[in-house]
Structure 1
Amino acid sequence: MIIIFTARNSIGETFTITKMNVERMKQEERLFCKSCASPVMIKAGQIKIPHFAHEKTMKCAFASEGESEEHLAAKRQMMAWFCYQGLPVELESYFPEINRQADIFVNGKTVIEFQRSSVPISEMIQRTMDYLSLGLEVHWILGQTLKKDKGRICLSAFQQAFIQFDQKLGYHFWHYSVEHENCTLYYHLTFEKGNRFFASEMPFSMKVSFSEWKKKIARIITRHAYVKRDREFERQKICFYYAKFKKHGQFMQKLYNAGYYLHYLPKEIGVDLEEQFLVMTPAIEWQFDLWDNFFKGLEKGDTFSGECFLESFQSVVTQIQTIWLSPNENLKLGKAYISYLISKGVLAEIPENRYRVKRKMTFTNNRVGQI
């Protein structure tokens, strides 16, 4: 069954069906889909929430076919909250100029997209660009269940696509729970390892006003979290992982062909920094490639520019796909690695955004020599 919540009557008036106005809707002689203009009928049983449905022979690309009950309920709950704020709101508003239908359209200027199922990230980016082309504000809210483990949240590649950046909130995203009818802001995200992050949480009830939400957000204090790391132990785990699961992979083959042994790589290669989540390329792989393509040709006392380094950095990493982060967001990881090498005495910063090699990175086994 194809489900919609909004329809038009024969004179073009738009209606959103609810439990409160079902009887009023039944008084309309004919009702039509806003998107495809096909006739629709009212469905208002005892179990499912009231909705409109196309005739069985009709197909509409913008109807809520395949949407879960949770997704449909989320749209209704959010619509009720915006109505509580006294704001005009529409469900499933269709924009013919871009051939798009928004989950929720608020105050004639803001699109709210609630995403529960995993779809290609490129599709969400394109939808966002289409809405922006009309001068609309766009907000994406994640609806998938979040996995939590020992005080960390585990975010899949799809879930990481919702991450945004703000000077005060740091890396953050919004999540909505249909079951609890609340919205949660996860902010000050700090990468630990793999897909695990530390994060602060701030829940917002859908039964209080938006002004109360803003007051809570205003009380957030900018901070930078510190993650204690045992670099030696991390290196042992990386070596074990590659030896067991990646021993026939391209990276291990590259090391073998070049005559290098994973366990003996310099301790400055394989460092998981807090910005590591910004790229899909594992730290030990891009840091080795960066050495191979860039640092290997430098001697003690040589200098180089920050621009030259970052150009080489970007050539060895693949950035994650996100809806909002800048295409150059991964440069933060490159700059963080520079800062790390400075802290370890490998590099020194000199004027005009340049750096000098203080010492070469060395293998942990003296027989291999320096790199």
Structure 2
Amino acid sequence: MLTAIKKDGTWITLPEKMSANVIDEWRKSAEYYCPCCKVEMTIKAGKVRIPHFAHKNSSSCRASSEPESAYHLMGKRKLFQWFLSHGFQVDLEAYLPEIKKRADILAVIGGNRYAIEFQCSVITEVEFMERTKAYQSIGIKPIWILAAKSLKRKSLYEFSLSRFHWLFVTGSFHHPFLWMYCPETDHLSVLKNLTPFTPRTVFAELTTASLKLLPPSRALPQNCFRFPFLPVWRYKRNGWSLHRVKTARRCDPFFEGLYLHHISPATLPIEVGVPVRGMLLIETAPIEWQAWLYMDVFHEKRTGEKISIADIVHVFRKRSKKGEIKFRPLPLLHEKPIEYPVGQYIMLLEQFGYLSKLKEGVFIVEREFTLPFTSDQAQILEKSFYDKHKLMMEKRNIQYNQ
């Protein structure tokens, strides 16, 4: 912790740098107490360690539940100074007695209160949700910023996000993004245009700016006016088709389903496994949940037959209850029905000419999905499909602010 209170109730914040003599003077001049649990604290520092307050004895105080690294201490101090330097009303390590929480930074922006949390260590999903809901319960909007060093980048557009990282996604379902900060470089980053391919693999655009050149008022990411991931999506989908079976678990229900329908991953219809808006809601890979829809609904349908949204949603929910389709917790986004990406998929099939609307919620099959006989034929069909629908697919996946 960087802040404490004296016996008289005065708040005090440690300077960024302190000599050994100054530290000794501070230790002797007053007693310091935790703003949260009121237990006595001491000043700790060293040649490497940043000066900070710590409880004298082991404590169950919520404020000390997470060990604070030098990286974390440096990060929240710099973020605090960033807001302060631009004239915002801001408090460092503000304690909120109503919910018994201590925010890294509490800022007032446009008349609204924001709790800025710079998260450098992994906490449980339950604790993340609990802290988020606690802030919201007293009218404070939480802004979670992830330590930039935790991001794993695989290529220009490909990143690896854990289930924990996904908790930080904010914005909207039309324009989701993830804040990150590195105090060592003093750069704030945004991972935007999030397009998940598997539970961990995501295609996204990373933009970075120095806090020295970026006022808080301009920190929100700009709209995405393009969808540049289709080439890498196709490459990844082809790789999945050829190699996914190698990592399949014995008695995997998905591969049992494919076997019962006489389908292999390499000969799935090309119409299965396309990017659609809102699919970040679903943790299961798009190619797998769309394959379930094919096996449960589209496989048996012939040209001229009817398909209802209600039936599609029913089988989708049935698979989710069995645990064969899983969802992501996204606590910082407004709630969206779990069927939203399914509706987007149906809308895309309609625009591709596979379905036509008979009436609200009911469609007629205009074209059947093409089931290739061999992986070579699948490659030919894949090229033809994407050549024909590339522009429509890109247009339907462009993300924007609302």
TM over 0.5: yes
The question of 1:8 aligning with 2:5 is answered yes
Output one character per residue of 1:320-359: Cα deviation in whole Å (capped at 9) or x when no partner: 1223224426544213321332244321234434321113
| SS state at 1:89 partner | strand
2: CA distance, partners of 1:151 / 1:237:
18
Residue in 2 that maps onto 1:48: 49
Amino acid at match of 1:243: V
Q: How does 1:248-259 map to 2 (within 5 A)?
A: 248=250, 249-259=252-262
Residue in 1 that maps onto 2:140: 136
| SS state at 1:109 partner | strand
Aligned residues: 358
User: Of 278, 281, 285, which residue of structure 1 is paired with 2:281?
Assistant: 278
**Larger deviation, residues 271-280 vs 129-138:** 271-280
Q: How does 1:32-111 map to 2 (within 5 A)?
A: 32-63=33-64, 65-107=66-108, 109-111=113-115
TM-score normalised per structure 2: 0.76
Higher helix share: 2
Deviation at 1:96, TM superposition (A): 3.1
Residue in 2 that maps onto 1:165: 171
Deviation at 1:34, TM superposition (A): 0.9
Q: Is the 8 A contact 1:125 1:323 kept in 2?
A: yes
Residue in 2 that maps onto 1:176: 181
Amino acid at match of 2:140: L
Q: How does 1:205-354 map to 2 (within 5 A)?
A: 205=211, 207-208=212-213, 210=215, 213-215=216-218, 220-229=222-231, 236-246=238-248, 248=250, 249-273=252-276, 275-296=278-299, 298-316=301-319, 317-328=325-336, 330-354=338-362
Output one character per residue of 1:157-179: Cα deviation in whole Å (capped at 9) or x when no partner: 22232222348x82212110111
Q: How does 1:112-127 map to 2 (within 5 A)?
A: 112-127=116-131
| SS state at 1:110 partner | strand
Q: Is the 8 A contact 1:79 1:91 kept in 2?
A: yes
Output one character per residue of 1:73-130: Cα deviation in whole Å (capped at 9) or x when no partner: 1111112222323334333333333232222222492211111222223321221111
Alpha-carbon spacing, 1:364–1:274, altered in 2? closer, same or farther (3 Å): same
Alpha-carbon spacing, 1:162–1:25, altered in 2? closer, same or farther (3 Å): same
2: CA distance, partners of 1:31 / 1:70:
23
Using the aligned pairs only, state the percent identity: 27
Amino acid at match of 2:305: D
2: CA distance, partners of 1:231 / 1:17:
49
2: CA distance, partners of 1:365 / 1:271:
20
2: CA distance, partners of 1:247 / 1:44:
51
Q: Is the 8 A contact 2:242 2:266 kept in 1?
A: no
2: CA distance, partners of 1:238 / 1:65:
39
Output one character per residue of 1:174-230: Cα deviation in whole Å (capped at 9) or x when no partner: 11011111212333334566613131514141x3573xx435759x45513143349
Structure 2 regions of 5+ residues with no counterpart? Answer: 320-324, 375-402
Alpha-carbon spacing, 1:362–1:65, altered in 2? closer, same or farther (3 Å): closer
Alpha-carbon spacing, 1:265–1:154, altered in 2? closer, same or farther (3 Å): closer
Alpha-carbon spacing, 1:258–1:223, altered in 2? closer, same or farther (3 Å): closer
Residue in 2 that maps onto 1:155: 160
**Larger deviation, residues 305-314 vs 333-342:** 305-314
Q: Is the 8 A contact 1:131 1:137 kept in 2?
A: yes
Residue in 2 that maps onto 1:369: none
Alpha-carbon spacing, 1:100–1:268, altered in 2? closer, same or farther (3 Å): same
Q: Is the 8 A contact 2:36 2:100 kept in 1?
A: no
The question of 1:195 aligning with 2:201 is answered yes
Amino acid at match of 2:226: H
| SS state at 2:12 partner | strand
Output one character per residue of 1:228-265: Cα deviation in whole Å (capped at 9) or x when no partner: 34998666522322332216333223333455444443
1: CA distance, partners of 2:135 / 2:65:
19
Q: Is the 8 A contact 2:195 2:275 kept in 1?
A: no
**Larger deviation, residues 139-148 vs 52-61:** 52-61
Output one character per residue of 1:268-313: Cα deviation in whole Å (capped at 9) or x when no partner: 2344546544322123332232233333454432334445534543
Alpha-carbon spacing, 1:349–1:231, altered in 2? closer, same or farther (3 Å): farther
User: Of 347, 363, 381, which residue of structure 2 is paired with 1:355?
Assistant: 363
| SS state at 1:11 partner | coil
Q: Is the 8 A contact 2:152 2:161 kept in 1?
A: no
Q: Is the 8 A contact 1:251 1:285 kept in 2?
A: yes
Amino acid at match of 2:204: F
Q: Is the 8 A contact 1:85 1:209 kept in 2?
A: no
Deviation at 1:140, TM superposition (A): 0.6
